[in-house]
Amino acid sequence: MAHYVDLHSHFLPGLDDGADDFPTCLSMVRALSEMGFSDLCATPHQFAGRFQPPLDQVRLTFDQANREIAKLMPEVRLLLGAENYWDDILATRLRQGEPPCYDGGKAFLFEISPVVLPPRLEAALFDIRVSGRLPVLAHPERYSAVQRDPAVAEGLSRQAALLVDLAALSGTGDRAEVKTARRLVEEGLAHAAASDMHAPEDDRSVAAGLAWIDKRLGAEVVTRLLSDNPRRILMGELP
Ligand SMILES: [Fe+2]
């Protein structure tokens, strides 16, 4: 029975570099459902200067997709979040106490520059945690500081939930990312894994990532990273 929770994907149409139209959105949702995901979080980019769809437009698109998908696939539950780039807009929203969180909860997804670690990141995340929010770091394996120094991931994992991409675990793509994603999961530093799906054809690498966790670490770890921990994260808890 499907029970995985996907905390990171781009299936909402026409908002960012994910799905272009509703049929594409539908085939992505269907593919994730067939892989065993029951709860799908839409996390369109919020990235100043690149993808900054107005939040009311994001909500409208989500409500529309949600209505259609409820009719076609009632077994799937959709939630709305955002992938917030660590920029001035996010900083302002955090100061105002309203970062775009997962479905109005306490947890929010964010990403940083792949090449430069923001100064005082750990301290800033600590302050965010003290304010009652849970930061969730997208694809930690992509950041060069995390690739170079295992201590960086250790420090970050105490202040933020680390959410690796399944495609990186599958072994396809950039070698440093694959190596780092696998190390984070093997060492127990990754709190959860997600699809980060942008197109229907990403389904193969997502499925291969799930298969890699199962083969390397067993079904219990699959359940922890794809179901138990994501559910705790949605409740604002650092697993
Ligand atoms: Fe993403």
pTM score, two decimals? 0.97
How far, in Å, is the centroid of ligand 1 from the Cα of 198? Answer: 8
How far, in Å, is the centroid of ligand 1 from the Cα of 3? Answer: 21
Q: How far is CA 199 from CA 11, 29, 84, 90, 120, in A?
A: 8, 10, 20, 26, 34
How far, in Å, is the centroid of ligand 1 from the Cα of 138? Answer: 7
Whether residue 239 is contained in a domain is answered as no
Residue 83: closest CA among 221, 238, 175, 195? 195
Whether residue 170 is contained in a domain is answered as yes
Whether residue 215 is contained in a domain is answered as yes
∠ at Cα 122 (121, 126), nearest 5°? 115
Whether residue 94 is contained in a domain is answered as yes
Whether residue 194 is contained in a domain is answered as yes
Whether residue 219 is contained in a domain is answered as yes
Residues with CB under 5 A from ligand 1 (ion): 83, 196
Q: Give me Rg for the CA atoms of the chain.
A: 16
Q: What confidence tens digit (pLDDT) does each residue in 2-41 have?
A: 699 999 999 999 999 999 999 999 999 999 999 999 999 9
List the domain range (segments joined by +) for residue 133. Answer: 4-234
How far, in Å, is the centroid of ligand 1 from the Cα of 39? Answer: 17
**Residue 40 and residue 226: Cα distance in Å, rounded?**
11
Residue ranges in the chain modelled with pLDDT below 50: none
How far, in Å, is the centroid of ligand 1 from the Cα of 17? Answer: 9
How far, in Å, is the centroid of ligand 1 from the Cα of 9? Answer: 6
How far, in Å, is the centroid of ligand 1 from the Cα of 196? Answer: 5
How far, in Å, is the centroid of ligand 1 from the Cα of 109? Answer: 9
* Average pLDDT over all residues of the chain: 96
**Residue 29 and residue 217: Cα distance in Å, rounded?**
27
How far, in Å, is the centroid of ligand 1 from the Cα of 52? Answer: 14
Q: What is the pLDDT of residue 215?
A: 98
Q: What is the pLDDT of residue 225?
A: 98
Q: What is the CATH number of the domain that holds 106?
A: 3.20.20.140
How many domains does the chain fold into? 1
The percentage of residues in the chain with a pLDDT greater than 90, rounded to a whole number, is 96
Q: Which residue has the tokens 């697993």?
A: 239
Phi-psi region for residue 15, left (φ > 0), alpha (ψ -120 to 50) or beta? Answer: alpha
- Contact status, residue 81 vs residue 41, Cβ threshold 8 Å: yes
